[in-house]
């Protein structure tokens, strides 16, 4: 049986000690989608949403969320991120906005949780800003697409959505 990393010898919750891990450049890219009506997508594109510039506000929220990840996820290490980028792409043909986040640092633990948190909060902010127009929006398929660095090296999702 594999030893659990977040539980100590007494069965108590434990933050993993990463001090002995090698410091490498670590990068993670995550993605997710928010589906909405054509009318709501048009408001986003045309900047006619009553709450203002939806995409810029959501991007800022995603960047802020990545920086606060350790405040939100128990046992997540606080990290000195060197790069956070959130990109949104309106996909009219599929009735959605594609959200991608990249997080990077030179450190001894990965940044997957930060990238996933950035995507999640970006999507939640989009939902919040557009819910008056379309309360039936759906957030889906939040996943890590790629990670680099650390002992596992380069990994890519084999079947991204």
Q: Which residue has the tokens 């990545």?
A: 66
Catalytic residue among 85, 87, 128, 141: 128
Measured N-to-C along each axis, helices 112-130 and 38-46 cross at an angle, to the nearest 10 degrees, of: 100
The span from the CA of 69 to the CA of 37, in Å, is 30
Between the alpha carbon of residue 159 and those of residues 9, 52, 121, 143, 145, the distances in Å are 37, 35, 23, 11, 9
Q: Is the dihedral of CA 40, 44, 48, 51 positive or negative?
A: positive
89: which DSSP letter?
A: E
Give yes or no: 53 in active site: no
Catalytic residues: 128
């Amino acid at each position: 049986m594999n030893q659990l990393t977040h539980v100590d010898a007494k069965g108590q919750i434990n933050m993993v000690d990463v001090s002995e891990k090698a410091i490498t450049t670590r990068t993670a890219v995550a993605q997710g989608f928010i589906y909405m009506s054509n009318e709501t997508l048009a408001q986003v594109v045309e900047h006619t949403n009553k709450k203002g510039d939806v995409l810029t506000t959501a991007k800022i929220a995603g960047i802020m969320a990545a920086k606060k990840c350790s405040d939100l996820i128990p046992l997540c290490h606080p990290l000195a991120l060197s790069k956070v980028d959130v990109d949104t792409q309106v996909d009219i043909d599929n009735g959605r906005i594609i959200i991608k986040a990249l997080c990077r640092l030179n450190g001894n633990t990965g940044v997957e949780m930060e990238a996933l948190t950035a995507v999640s909060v970006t999507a939640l902010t989009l939902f919040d800003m557009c819910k008056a127009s379309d309360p039936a929006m759906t957030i889906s398929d939040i996943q890590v697409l790629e990670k680099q660095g650390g002992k596992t090296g380069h990994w890519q999702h084999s079947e991204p959505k």
